[in-house]
Amino acid sequence: MTTGTEEWHADPALLSRYLAGNLDAVTGASVEQHVSRCETCRATVGRLLEPQLLERTWAGIRDGVERPTPPYPMRVARRLGLPEPTAVLLASAASLRAAWLVGAFLSLSFATLAAYASDGTALAPFLLAAPLAPVLGVAAAYGPRQDPLEALVATAPYGRTRLILLRTIGVLVSVLPVTVLLGLAVPGPPWLAAAWLGPALALVPVLLALAAFVGPRIAATIVSLAWSGVVLGSTRALAPTWPVEAAQQGVYLGLAVAACAVIAIRAGTDRQPGVAL
């Protein structure tokens, strides 16, 4: 500004008219330009404006400043439109943390490498690891040992079945894409890349159904041993792709349906929160 206008200040009456919107655009614009550069007139505007409005805005600023940035999985869940409490519960699952995901990815990568190195004759490592990655992820997603919110979850009026299913979906969404990509890299018949999804998706409800009786840790052990038995047993006499062929897929489907029925009955008969699963 030029020296001539530096000592000039808008009088409170003019500023009041400006705040009330009673100035024409040219005068209003020039008041505005002056106020935005003049400390004295800015202070006058501060005295003329409603204090409640200014305090209300400040309260929001303070909240925004003091609120810590939520962890990454929670921000993703929020962006997908989940309400905040659900996002918190989902994100606290152990198997959605980076360490778990990296571990799952590494073991699957080694299995893929093994299949690749043996030129497709040793599919067992991949068929063993790929369906178990989501199963163990789901098992690790809840339970007293793994869940930092366990005490809260057990006492909250929030359906445990709902929580576990929600986390199961979260785990599947984060684990399956990588596994599918690795499956494409495995040598062998092209349908193999999709075929392992059959046991993978069937074993998850089986795990959940078993966990309702014996807890997630023992259930995960039982399912892992059973699947290992199927895969390793078939390597003796049968074709490497035997565990995922059509007849066997039918068995997995039957198991999954039975397991879903068990879960539904348990959730239906036992409405007490924290007991259903």
Partner 1 sequence: MSSTPIVTDAALVAAVADGDAGALRELYERHGAWLHARLIRRCNDPEVVVEVVQDTFVALWKDARRFRHDGEVGAWLWGIAFRRMVSRLRSRRDVVLIPEWDVSPTLQQVMPSAEDQVLLGVEYGDLAAGLRRLSPEFRSVVQAVVLDGLTTKEAGRLLGVRENTVKTRLHRAKAQLRATLTEPQEGWR
How far apart are alpha carbons 194 and 245 in whole angstroms?
11
Q: How far is CA 178 from the centre of its chain?
A: 15
Q: Is 99 in the site for partner 1 (CB under 8 A)?
A: no
Count, residues in the chain = 277
As given in the structure block, the two tokens for residue 54 are 């200014």
Among 6, 12, 46, 234, binds partner 1 (CB under 8 A): 46
Among 6, 12, 34, 96, binds partner 1 (CB under 8 A): 34
Query: Nearest distance from residue 78's CB to partner 1, in Å?
Result: 17
Q: Is 28 in the site for partner 1 (CB under 8 A)?
A: yes
How far apart are alpha carbons 225 and 136 in whole angstroms?
12
Q: Is 3 in the site for partner 1 (CB under 8 A)?
A: no
How far apart are alpha carbons 132 and 144 in whole angstroms?
21
Q: Is 60 in the site for partner 1 (CB under 8 A)?
A: yes
Q: Is 33 in the site for partner 1 (CB under 8 A)?
A: yes
Alpha helices in 186-245 (DSSP H): 192-195, 197-214, 216-237
Q: Is 68 in the site for partner 1 (CB under 8 A)?
A: no
**Footprint of partner 1 on 6-25 (CB under 8 A):** 8, 10-11, 14, 18-19, 21-25
As given in the structure block, the two tokens for residue 28 are 């209003």
Among 6, 12, 42, 77, binds partner 1 (CB under 8 A): 42
Q: How far is CA 91 from the centre of its chain?
A: 5
Residues that bind partner 1 (CB under 8 A): 2, 4-5, 8, 10-11, 14, 18-19, 21-37, 39-46, 48-49, 53-54, 56-58, 60-61, 64-65
